[in-house]
Amino acid sequence: MKTFTYTGSPARVVFGPGAVSGVADEVRRLGGTRVLLLSGPAVGGAALAVRGALGPLLTAEFGGAAMHTPVEVTEEAQRVLDEHAADCLVAVGGGSATGLAKALAVRTGLPQLVLPTTYAGSEMTALLGETSSGVKVTRTSPSILPSTVIYDVDFTLSLPVGLSVCSAVNALAHAVEALYSAQANPVTDGMALEAIGRIACALPRIAAEPDNLGLRTDLLQAAWLAGMCLGTVGMGLHHKLCHALGGTLGLPHAQTHAVILPQVMAYNAGAVPEIMERIVTALGTSFGRAGAPAGVFDLVSRAGGPTSLRELGMLQNDIAPVARRAAATPYPNPREVTADSAEELLRRAWRGVRPSGGRQVPDLTWLTGQVVASLAGTPDDRTRQLVTGLVRRLHSFVTEHELTQAEWQAGIGFLTRTGQTCAANRQEFVLLSDVLGVSSAVDALASSRTPEATPSAVLGPFYLADPPIMASGADVATGLPGTPLWADIRVEDEAGKPVPGASVDVWQSNQDGFYDVQLPDLDGPVLRARFTTDGQGCLAFWSIVPAEYPIPADGPVGQLLAATGRHPWRAPHLHFMITPPGGRPFITQLFVAGGRYLDSDAVFGVKQDLVVDFTRQRGPAPAGRAVDGEWCQLRFTFRIEKG
Ligand code: NAD
């Protein structure tokens, strides 16, 4: 039989709409005669209401409370306190205002009364987290616990819906972690389950009815009960991770809770199945059916809350260091936490993966570990890094989506057909990479990062090495039908100096959107050429205005596009590959301004700086050419890195 110790909270609680009217009596009850009123950023009309209700007891105010209780702010507030000889602290606001009251109380021993306006629950704990020089240190003391808490439901009506959702999930996290805490007991279990039930009922309706006093009452009572849990028993992995994410990366407190909770529940589910069942019951039929972790994920996402760390602005590169930090010191949690398992969990949270239903996904970290270990002897470091990263991501893809045999087979079949479709004049793998945006991603990493340089673009599948060499002024369309185009091109370095002697390959589609390699009846290469820039870095050529065209859609990539409801069209463009003497090739494309599909290019290749005017002209054409009717002119200066 489990043994436990339980100490009830001595805090006095006054709850109800309009409860602020009792604040003066409650201050006097604490022996206060001169109140310092503390608040943080905008909290609706709450501060005004407290001011009015305090009347002559209000002696001074400090409105600078901030997230994570910075020590400098506390010192500033203490100066105001000393100056006005206040003898009672009253805080109105979220966890930030409460934190400041706690920080002053522990320094001065003054009584504190808190009026919470969020669901953070800090008012129910004897715990204080303070930040000094960017480091958050936590301490506990009986004097940190507020003596009186007035929950005025009216104060929560102005809490924006997004914040209401995240803050309520913050409370939900206190309740969930209390249930599997080592110090769990029947009192906290009861409070936790009651809190979960109230949140599950109220949260889905709050977006549509933010002014519904009944819903707000449920959420605030849940926040109080969950806060009592937080103040009574120890928390686990969820709080550790949120602390690490908030502390190292400054991610927003309540939003981080909303993303992390379902992922931690999924991680712990197998270790505490009976507790997950109790949570399922508390969640009720709407959310419980999916299992506890997925139910909480659905609750958050349907209420419009964030579900991924990515949308909170976290960078993928930060996952591993945070995971290491969270696993560095042991702490109580139903399932052991290692740097690898924390990293896997954070990866799922970063992507916002919905936890699988009630079923347990087997833990395959041992298998991933074995494969990764087998690569340890790879002689080339970069190869080892790349193959290891690929294995890790493939394994987590398989587990994350619980890939079935049939799906695995379909995937292998797709890749096999992609390979079989490749030929001398068709590169289906490049096309696959293009439509998945991978080519553009690689291009973005490889391209120049200086704002002065022209942006690069993907190579595409139609480039042929060694195109026909032509002299400036030549016609690359060699008489093909289409609107004549005169291209006047200059190549400069980043300082604006001309780049003479650069080799410039040009290739494009015909007026029907086909490249020469797609037209077997065509004799020899056409609409492709290699020029060399003159002493001023210039070259010019005649061609025709390129048309939009569909990428080859008769193969596996076409099937993929059809299966995902996407069109295969590329916005009209000209390709360029510019190689300065002794330098590396610079690859880009120029898009026809006003052309179709600029906003939905099938290979994600359009960059705004590469969309240029192909100006319509009439009258005498350059280079002595007689043009009957309209022709277009393209003038463009490429700025490239010469090195
Ligand atoms: P918060 O107090 O900073 O408030 C978040 C935002 O909500 C603020 O911008 C605020 O202006 C706005 N807001 C609050 N009430 C409002 C209202 N009624 N109407 C309109 N806007 C309103 O943040 P929080 O999430 O309440 O608390 C987070 C802080 O509390 C963190 O520093 C966290 O570490 C701490 N905390 C401590 C404990 C503890 O036991 N020590 C527990 C939970 C949270």
- Segment 453-507, tens digit of pLDDT: 899 998 887 899 899 999 999 999 988 899 999 999 999 998 999 999 999 999 9
| pLDDT of 561 strictly over 70 | yes
- Hey, how many other C-beta atoms are within 10 angstroms of the C-beta on 354? 17
Q: Provide the residue count of the chain.
A: 643
Establish whether residue 369 lines the binding site of ligand 1, counting it when its CB lies within 6 angstroms of any ligand atom: no
Establish whether residue 117 lines the binding site of ligand 1, counting it when its CB lies within 6 angstroms of any ligand atom: yes
Helix (H) or strand (E) holding 229: helix 213-232
User: Where does the pLDDT of residue 568 fall: very low under 50, low under 70, confident under 90, or very high at 90 and above?
Assistant: very high
Whole-angstrom distance, CA of residue 317 vs CA of residue 158: 37
Return the pLDDT at 27. Answer: 98
What is the per-residue pLDDT across 375-407, written as a single tens digit (0 to 9) for each? 999 999 999 999 999 999 999 888 877 788 999
Contact partners, residue 567, CB within 8 Å, separation at least 6:
550, 561, 597, 600, 602
Average pLDDT of span 288-314: 92
The rounded percent of the chain whose pLDDT value lies above 70 is 98
Q: For residue 187, how far is its CA from the centre of ligand 1 (angstroms)? A: 26
Average pLDDT of span 134-149: 90
Closest ligand 1 atom number to CA of residue 163: 7
Listed as own residue / partner, the contacts of 441-446 with beta carbons closer than 8 Å and 24 or more positions apart are 443/587
What is the per-residue pLDDT across 310-366, written as a single tens digit (0 to 9) for each? 999 999 999 999 999 889 888 899 999 999 999 999 999 999 999 875 555 677 888
Establish whether residue 161 lines the binding site of ligand 1, counting it when its CB lies within 6 angstroms of any ligand atom: no
Return the pLDDT at 289. Answer: 76
Return the pLDDT at 448. Answer: 61
- Hey, how many other C-beta atoms are within 10 angstroms of the C-beta on 316? 12
Strands 112-116, 88-93: pairing is parallel
Establish whether residue 467 lines the binding site of ligand 1, counting it when its CB lies within 6 angstroms of any ligand atom: no
Establish whether residue 268 lines the binding site of ligand 1, counting it when its CB lies within 6 angstroms of any ligand atom: no
Substitution site in 39, 48, 50, 67 for ligand 1 pocket (most atoms within 8 Å of beta carbon): 67
- Edge-to-edge strands, sheet with 631-640: 538-544, 484-493, 631-640, 615-617
| pLDDT of 270 strictly over 60 | yes
Q: Lowest mean pLDDT: which of 219-223, 284-288, 331-335, 525-529?
A: 284-288
Residue closest via CA to ligand 1's atom 2 equals 94
The token pair at 481 is: 């039908």
What is the per-residue pLDDT across 514-557, written as a single tens digit (0 to 9) for each? 898 888 777 778 999 999 999 999 999 999 999 999 998 999 99
- Upper half-sphere CA count for residue 643 (Cβ side, 13 Å): 5
| pLDDT of 228 strictly over 80 | yes
Establish whether residue 66 lines the binding site of ligand 1, counting it when its CB lies within 6 angstroms of any ligand atom: no
Of 140, 239, 120, the C-alpha closest to 181 is 239
The token pair at 139 is: 């301490």
Q: With H, G, I as helix, E, B as strand and everything else as coil, classify residue 271.
A: coil
| pLDDT of 416 strictly over 80 | yes
Return the pLDDT at 518. Answer: 81
More confident residue, 518 or 11: 11
The token pair at 71 is: 């020590």
Q: Domains of the chain by range and CATH?
A: 12-156 (3.40.50.1970), 162-351 (1.20.1090.10), 365-420 (no CATH), 438-640 (2.60.130.10)
Average pLDDT of span 300-319: 94
Return the pLDDT at 120. Answer: 95
CA geometry: angle 11, 14, 19, nearest 5 deg: 145
DSSP β-bridge partners for residue 570: 549
Of 477, 457, 466, 439, the C-alpha closest to 638 is 457
Helix (H) or strand (E) holding 411: helix 405-421
- Edge-to-edge strands, sheet with 35-39: 12-15, 148-151, 112-116, 88-93, 35-39, 58-62
Angstrom distances, CA of residue 586 to CA of 267, 298, 361, 457? 47, 47, 47, 9
Establish whether residue 96 lines the binding site of ligand 1, counting it when its CB lies within 6 angstroms of any ligand atom: yes
Return the pLDDT at 522. Answer: 75
| pLDDT of 202 strictly over 70 | yes
Establish whether residue 254 lines the binding site of ligand 1, counting it when its CB lies within 6 angstroms of any ligand atom: yes
Return the pLDDT at 359. Answer: 55
The token pair at 260 is: 């992390």
| pLDDT of 117 strictly over 80 | yes
Residue closest via CA to ligand 1's atom 27 equals 95
Residue closest via CA to ligand 1's atom 9 equals 41
Residue closest via CA to ligand 1's atom 22 equals 43
Whole-angstrom distance, CA of residue 23 vs CA of residue 113: 8
| pLDDT of 135 strictly over 80 | no
* C-beta separation of 267 from 333 below 8 A: no
What is the per-residue pLDDT across 426-449, written as a single tens digit (0 to 9) for each? 899 999 999 999 999 998 887 766
- Edge-to-edge strands, sheet with 586-592: 528-532, 503-508, 573-579, 586-592, 611-612
Return the pLDDT at 524. Answer: 76
Strands 569-570, 549-550: pairing is antiparallel
Closest ligand 1 atom number to CA of residue 136: 34
Angstrom distances, CA of residue 231 to CA of 182, 196, 227? 14, 17, 6
User: Tokens 């909480």 correspond to what residue?
Assistant: 296
Average pLDDT of span 294-315: 94
User: Where does the pLDDT of residue 64 fall: very low under 50, low under 70, confident under 90, or very high at 90 and above?
Assistant: very high
User: Where does the pLDDT of residue 560 fall: very low under 50, low under 70, confident under 90, or very high at 90 and above?
Assistant: very high
Of 524, 574, 571, 555, the C-alpha closest to 426 is 555
Establish whether residue 435 lines the binding site of ligand 1, counting it when its CB lies within 6 angstroms of any ligand atom: no
Closest ligand 1 atom number to CA of residue 166: 25
Of 172, 210, 206, 212, the C-alpha closest to 192 is 172
User: Tokens 């009192």 correspond to what residue?
Assistant: 187
User: Alpha helices, DSSP H only, in 131-185?
Assistant: 161-179
Q: For residue 94, how far is its CA from the centre of ligand 1 (angstroms)? A: 3
Substitution site in 48, 139, 158, 163 for ligand 1 pocket (most atoms within 8 Å of beta carbon): 163
Contact partners, residue 536, CB within 8 Å, separation at least 6:
490, 498, 500
User: Where does the pLDDT of residue 177 fall: very low under 50, low under 70, confident under 90, or very high at 90 and above?
Assistant: very high
Establish whether residue 128 lines the binding site of ligand 1, counting it when its CB lies within 6 angstroms of any ligand atom: yes
User: Where does the pLDDT of residue 88 fall: very low under 50, low under 70, confident under 90, or very high at 90 and above?
Assistant: very high
Whole-angstrom distance, CA of residue 94 vs CA of residue 98: 6
Establish whether residue 70 lines the binding site of ligand 1, counting it when its CB lies within 6 angstroms of any ligand atom: no
Establish whether residue 247 lines the binding site of ligand 1, counting it when its CB lies within 6 angstroms of any ligand atom: no
Substitution site in 9, 68, 69, 118 for ligand 1 pocket (most atoms within 8 Å of beta carbon): 118
Of 442, 461, 459, 506, the C-alpha closest to 636 is 506
DSSP 426: B
User: Where does the pLDDT of residue 178 fall: very low under 50, low under 70, confident under 90, or very high at 90 and above?
Assistant: very high
| pLDDT of 105 strictly over 90 | yes
Establish whether residue 504 lines the binding site of ligand 1, counting it when its CB lies within 6 angstroms of any ligand atom: no
Q: What is the mean pLDDT of the chain?
A: 93
More confident residue, 247 or 453: 453
Residue closest via CA to ligand 1's atom 7 equals 94
